[in-house]
Structure 1
Amino acid sequence: MPNPTSFFRQAGKGHPRAALAVLVAVALLLGIWGAWRSFAPQPVNAAEQLREQAARIDQLEQQVVTLTRSDQISRQANADLQGTLAERDEEIAGLRADIAFYERFVGATAQRHGLNVHALKLEPQRDPQLWHFVATLTQNLNRGAVNKGRLQLVLEVSEDGRMRKLDWATLRQQQAAPSVDYSFKYFQQVEGDIVLPPGVKPVRVLVRLVPVSGVTVEQSFTWSEAAAPAASTPAEG
């Protein structure tokens, strides 16, 4: 291997500037190499840094999971709150409707009415021929008196272009079918089921009330009116 000292001496004799340039370049390389050795992370320090960075990543990922879960819980709690508020609003509306109903029949300024069918509602069941009815009966003429009796329905239908009536026994599909009993002071909801024969088109429903004492009361409702959705009414009183 040639001696660096003799190399620089020979380079200096022939080309002083070239020798100086080489010397400066070597000095710079040695300086850079020394700085890298002094400040570069040692293998042990690098492994520790990797562990710290991995631990930091795990910590951040856990924070993301926690925040995501917290956001989901907050959203669910808000949805539950909105549902509860909607239920309370519906309950308040129902109570106000009940109060108005009570005032209409038992209030001090309520008009006096004898035995009456306040409303009739029909709801279809899974069987397309089966219908459930709810009749709201009222009276406030005899305050405190108990009204007792029986209820039956008669249905006017169109069949093959002709009108005919279906009596209670036909609607109940039972000979001598028992009537639905009622007993109340001011109002009561009476309910039951009827069955429509195939091929008939219902037109009108007749509600017949036969009190224990007094005259029979009959009121009619169109089928479209009775089968339309409506708000509920207090059960009895």
Structure 2
Amino acid sequence: MADSTRRGGIALNHRLLAQAIVILIAFLGGGFLATLVGGDEPVGQLRSQRANEQLQQQLDSALGRLEMLRTRREVDQRALEMVRSELAVQKEHIAELEEGLRFYRSLIAPEGAGGGLSLREPELLATEEAGRYLLRLVVQQVARKHEKVEGSLEVTLTGNLGGETVSLALPELSEDFVGPALKLRFRYFQLLEGELVLPAGFEPQSVNIVARANSPRAMDIQKEFPWHLQERFTHVGQ
């Protein structure tokens, strides 16, 4: 439908342009013919002047309509671009909401008949400053009946420093995580975020996480994840 409208507008522009050209030719030809026929007679000159004025009015009118159509076409194109841009933003927003919904479902929906703790892969984002990163950790309870969990979380980064493999505890790298162990207290999940500042020359390779619960019962889980940067955090309504 848009293509047919565009073709119709182009055809109308062509017709107006052709009309303007015809009027211009008539304008020039009419004046020349009146001079040949009327000679120097005042009546012939008056008729020629009136004819020229009429043709000039028609020409101005056709050119005005042509300019109006060109302006309208430019406005329509800009409006179409704005609509397309807005649709792209809305699609991105919907995708983020769907991602957040999947995130919450994966945290709250029970998996299997058993229970225990579960660790999601840590999310890491680079900042504009070299050696500084944003970290998000998520610990969740997998159970059909969610009771309040209390315990602790320990995180260490393993990497290469000066040709040697070293492990650094999270509290050594961040003022946002006070330790040696981070406190856990949640029913469904707990989200912890903060900024890391790595030592100069340290090349991180993996993140080792140990979660321990002492209430409602003793349980623990340990996982090692590769150091992996991403563009943004998973959307969770923030």
**What is residue 10 of structure 1 aligned with on the other side?**
none
Q: Which residue of the other structure, out of 217, 226, 232, is the alignment partner of 1:222?
A: 226
TM-score where L is the length of structure 2:
0.64
- Superposition CA RMSD, Å: 3.8
CA deviations over 1:44-78 (Å, ceiling 9, x no partner): 44444444444434433332332223222222332
TM superposition shift of 1:83? 3.1
Aligned twin of 1:157: 159
- Decide whether the 8 Å contact of 2:118 with 2:221 is kept in 1: yes
Question: Aligned AA for 2:207?
Answer: V
* Count of aligned pairs: 201
Flag structure 1 segments of 5+ consecutive residues without an equivalent: 1-32
Structure 2: unaligned runs, 5 residues or longer: 1-34
1:1-237 alignment, distance < 5 Å: 36=38, 42-107=44-109, 110-111=111-112, 112-141=114-143, 143-149=145-151, 151-172=153-174, 183-209=185-211, 211=213, 213=215, 214-215=218-219, 217-223=221-227, 226-229=228-231, 232-234=234-236
Q: Percent identity?
A: 18
Matching residue of 1:4: none
Instruction: Give the drift of 1:194.
Output: 0.4
- Provide the rounded CA distance (Å) in 2 between the counterparts of 1:49 and 1:134: 82
- Shift in CA distance, 143/39, structure 1 to aligned 2, threshold 3 Å: farther
Aligned partner of 2:224: which letter? S
Deviations 1:138-162 (A, max 9, x none): 2232634233555453111101221
Which fold has the larger relative contact order, with Cα–Cα distance below 8 Å and residues 6 or more apart in sequence? Answer: 2
Larger Rg: 1
Conserved in 2, the CA contact under 8 Å of 1:188 and 1:235? Answer: no
- Map of 1:19 onto structure 2: none
